[in-house]
Chains A and B, each alone.
Chain A
Amino acid sequence: MGSTLLEVRNLKKHFPSTAGWVKAVDGIDLKIEKGKSFGLVGESGCGKSTLIRVMLKLLEPTAGQIFFDGQEITGYSFKEMRALRKEMGMVFEDPHLALNPRMTVFDIISRPLKIHGLARKKGDLTVQVVELLQSMGLQTEHMIRFPHELSGGQKQRIGVARALAVEPQLIFLDEPTSALDVSVQTKILKLLEKARQERDLTFFFISHDINLIRVVADIMGVMYLGKIVEIGPKELLLDDPHHPYTRGLFSAVPEPDPDHSITEIQLTGEVPSPVNPPPGCNFNPRCPHADDRCRVEEPEFRELADGRRVACHLY
C-alpha cells in the first residue's frame, strides 16, 4: 500500500442556473495512491470534467475538502495554489486548442519551466526542452515549429511534454486520446506509461471511453450524475461489476470482435437532469433492481470485503 497523494472528502460543486442549482459534482469521496493510475469513466454530463477542475482548484468547491500530499488545500488562495501547480499537471482533450498557435514548441514547453523558475541559464532550458521532446519521441528540430505544422498526435505529445516539464507528481488527463486517430493513440499511451514508470508519476484519467480506461488504469471509478457509484481495482470491476449502472454501462460497450455482440440493452432511458436529480439513489429510475428503499434512501458508499467501494443498497 502506497501513501495517499490526493484525497477528496464529500466534495461538491453546484452551479447556479435559471432552473435551479446544477449539482455537477455532488459528494465525492476519493483517495488516489501515489504511483497509481486512476481512471474515471462516465458519460457526458456526469461531472467528471468539473470534478478535476475543482480538484485543481480552477473552480472553487461548494463544499467538501481536498487534500494533496497530506495537506488540506481546500482553502488555499490563488497565490498559495501557484506553488502547488508545479505538482499537478494537466493534459487536455483537444491538442489543437490546448497549444497557443502563436508560440513555438520551444516556447510552449519552456514556459512552465520559466514560470516556476526551474531553469537558471538559457542553455539549461534548451537542454531540458530537448530531453522532454526526446522522451516523447520527437526530435530537436520540432522545437522551432509552430503547432499548425504538427500532426494531431505530435501536438498531443507536445501537450504531454509541457505537463511533464515541471516534474509534477500528479497528472490529470482529460480524454487525452479522443481527438486522435486510432493509429496514433497507442503511441501516446505507450509514451505516457513509460513516463509514468520512469518518473514515478500518478495519473488521473477521465474518459467516456471504457476501452481506454480498461487499458490505462490500475484503479477504476465509475461516475453517474455527480457521484461515484463504484470504485476499485480494474480487474475486479471488469470481471464482476456490482453496481447496476456499472453493469449496464459495460454491457453497452461495443467490442471490436466479430464473435461478440450487444445482446441485451440493460441501460434504458436517459440520464436525468442534474438540476433535479431523483431522490434516494439517483440511478433508481433507470435501475432494474430499484425498490421502495432506493426511491427514498440514498445508499452509502460502502467498502466491500474485496476492496472495492460501491454505492448501492444491494450490497
Chain B
Amino acid sequence: MRIEDLQVAFSTEEGPVEALDGVELTIHQGTFHGLIGETGCGKSVTGQTIMGLLDNNARIKKGRIMYREQDLLKLSSRQMERQIRGNEIAMIFQDPGSSLNPLFTIKNQIEEAIKMYRPVPRERREGLILEALQQVKLPDARNLMHRYPHQLSGGMKQRVMIAMMLACNPRLLIADEPTTALDVSIQAQFIKVLKDLKDNLDLTILYITHDLAVISELCDYVSVMYAGRIVENLSMYDLFRDPCHPYTEKLVNSVLGVSTRLDQLEEIPGSVPRLINPPPGCRFHPRCSEVLPVCSQEVPLLKEVKGLHSVACHRR
C-alpha cells in the first residue's frame, strides 16, 4: 500500500481542522509497519481513511491510497464494503469490548464475518472458526466459541477480534492501539500471538500506537507522525539508534524505560499544537531546539536519507 499526499479536513464548529496534511507512507507486503505519534496527531484518522470509515464531517481534500494497483479513494462505498473491507483489509480497535456484539456468541460473530467475506461451504465454517481461535492461542477453543463476549476478559476479546480477522483471511490488518486497554502480562501474551502469526502467515500490519516499547517488539518499519504530517519514515532499528528528525529524537529519549534515571530523560517544551490553527511552516518548529529561519516559513518535504529512511526537516 502506498499513501500519497493525503489531506483530510474535518469541519467543526470552530472551523476546519486539517487533520491530515500531506501524509506520505508506504507499507511493504509482509512487514509490520508502525505508525506512531501523540494524541491528536492524526494516526487514527489515517487508519480510518484507509478503511473508508471517516465521520460525516470529514472531507478528503487530496491524495491517493494505492492498494494493489487501485486507488481506494476512488471506490464507491459499496465497492469498499464488498471488495476491500474485511476480506482485503481488516481493522481492530482499542476497545475490544465495544467491537463485539454482546448478544451473540463468539462463534456466531466469527461465522457472520466468514459468511460475508469468504465463500466457503457451511460445513467448513466451524473448522475455520476453530482454526482461527487456535491460531491466536485461545485455550479450549471448542467450548470458548459458544460463550458470549461478557464472559471473556479484555485480552481474550482482543484475541477473538484477531481470530475473526484471520478467519476472513485479509492481506492487510490495521490495528489501532490494540493493547492500550490491556494489562502488561496480557499485552505480552498478545504481542507473542502477533509475533507467531508474523512468522507463520504472510500478514501485513499497520500498527497504530503511541507506545514505542510495543513498536520495538513488533515492527520492522515505522512512520512518525506529528500534527497531521509524517515527519520521518525509518526502520525500527534506526528509530532507536539513528533518528534524524528532532521530534523523533526527542520523543525516543522521553520514553520511560529508555533510562531509569529521570535526569537522563528528555522533555519537549510546550505541547502538541491544536490543528485548528497549526503553526506555519514546519509544525514542530515552536518546540524545536534546532530551529532555522526557514522553518517557520516553508513546509519541509520528506527527503530520502538512505534507502527506506526519509525525513521532513530543513536541517537534514
Using a CB–CB cutoff of 8 Å, the interface residues on chain A facing chain B are 43-44, 151-154, 181-187, 189-190, 193, 208-212, 214-216, 238, 248-249, 251-258, 260-262, 265, 267-268, 270-271
In the assembled complex, the CB of A243 is this many whole angstroms from the nearest CB of chain B, namely 14
CB-based contact A260/B216 at 8 Å: yes
Question: Contact: B257 with A183, CB < 8 Å?
Answer: no
CB 8 Å contact bits of B174-211 with A (1 = contact, 0 = none)? 00000000011111110110000000000000000011
Total chain B interface residues with beta-carbon distance under 8 A: 47
**Is B212 located at the chain interface by the 8 A CB criterion?**
yes
20 residue pairs from A and B, CB less than 8 Å apart = A151-B272, A152-B271, A181-B38, A184-B268, A187-B267, A190-B263, A208-B183, A209-B256, A212-B256, A215-B259, A215-B265, A216-B262, A249-B184, A253-B213, A253-B257, A255-B213, A255-B257, A256-B216, A257-B240, A262-B217
Q: In the complex the two chains form, what is the Cα distance from A238 to B261 in whole Å?
A: 13
> Is the beta-carbon distance between A256 and B213 smaller than 8 angstroms?
yes
B256's contact among A44, A211, A261, A265, by CB below 8 Å, is which? A211
Beyond the given pairs A182-B210, A215-B260, A267-B185, 18 more chain A to chain B contacts, judged by CB atoms under 8 angstroms and listed by A's residue number, are A183-B268, A183-B272, A189-B265, A211-B257, A215-B256, A215-B265, A252-B188, A254-B188, A254-B216, A255-B216, A256-B257, A257-B240, A258-B236, A258-B237, A258-B241, A260-B216, A262-B217, A270-B186
A181/B39 contact (C-beta < 8 A), A211-B213, A216-B262 known: yes
In this complex, the member of B155, B186, B257 whose beta carbon has the largest number of chain A beta carbons within 10 angstroms is B257
B240 touches A256 (CB 8 A): yes
Check B108 for interface membership: any CB of A closer than 8 A: no
- Cβ–Cβ contact A153 & B188, under 8 A: no
Give chain A residues whose Cβ lies under 8 Å from the Cβ of B241. Answer: 258
Q: Which of B235-260 contact A (CB under 8 A)?
A: 236-237, 239-241, 250-252, 254-260
Inside 8 A of B80's CB, which chain A residues have their CB?
Answer: none
Q: Which residues does chain B contribute within 8 Å of A209, judged by CB atoms?
A: 256
A253 CA to B183 CA, complexed, in Å: 10
Bound complex: CA A154 to CA B263 (Å)? 21
A214 touches B260 (CB 8 A): yes
In the bound assembly, the distance between CA atoms of A189 and B267 in angstroms comes to 10
Q: Report the minimum CB–CB distance from B274 to chain A (whole Å).
A: 9
Whether the pair A183, B252 counts as a contact (CB closer than 8 A) is no
Q: Which 3 A-B pairs have the closest CB atoms?
A: A252-B188, A211-B257, A211-B256
Is the pair B254, A183 in contact by a Cβ cutoff of 8 Å? yes
B186 near A257: Cβ-Cβ < 8 Å: no
From A215, A238, A249, name the one whose CB has the most chain B CB atoms within 10 angstroms.
A215
B298 lies within 8 A of chain A by Cβ: no
In this complex, which of A154, A210, A255, A258 has the most chain B Cβ atoms within 10 angstroms of its Cβ?
A258
Nearest CB of B to A196, in Å: 11
Within the assembled complex, what's the spacing in Å between the Cα atoms of A258 and B236? 7
| B83 interfacial by beta-carbon distance below 8 Å | no
Inter-chain CA distance A186–B38, complex, in Å, is 14
Chain A residues lying within 8 Å of B275, measured Cβ to Cβ, are: none
Whether A183 touches B262, Cβ cut-off 8 Å, given contacts A43-B183, A254-B191, is no
Assess the A254–B213 pair: CB atoms within 8 A: yes
Residues facing A in B211-239 (CB within 8 A) are 211-217, 236-237, 239
A255 CB to closest chain B CB (Å) equals 6
CA distance A110 to B239 in the complex (A): 45
Chain A residue at smallest Cβ distance from B264: A215
Return B308 CB to nearest CB of chain A, in Å. 15
Residue pair B271, A214 in contact (C-beta under 8 Å): no
Task: State in angstroms the CA–CA spacing of A136 and B255 once bound together.
Answer: 21
Which residues of chain B from 287 to 316 have a CB within 8 Å of any chain A CB?
none
Docked-complex contact B189 and A268, CB < 8 angstroms = yes
B153 at interface (Cβ–Cβ under 8 A)?
A: yes
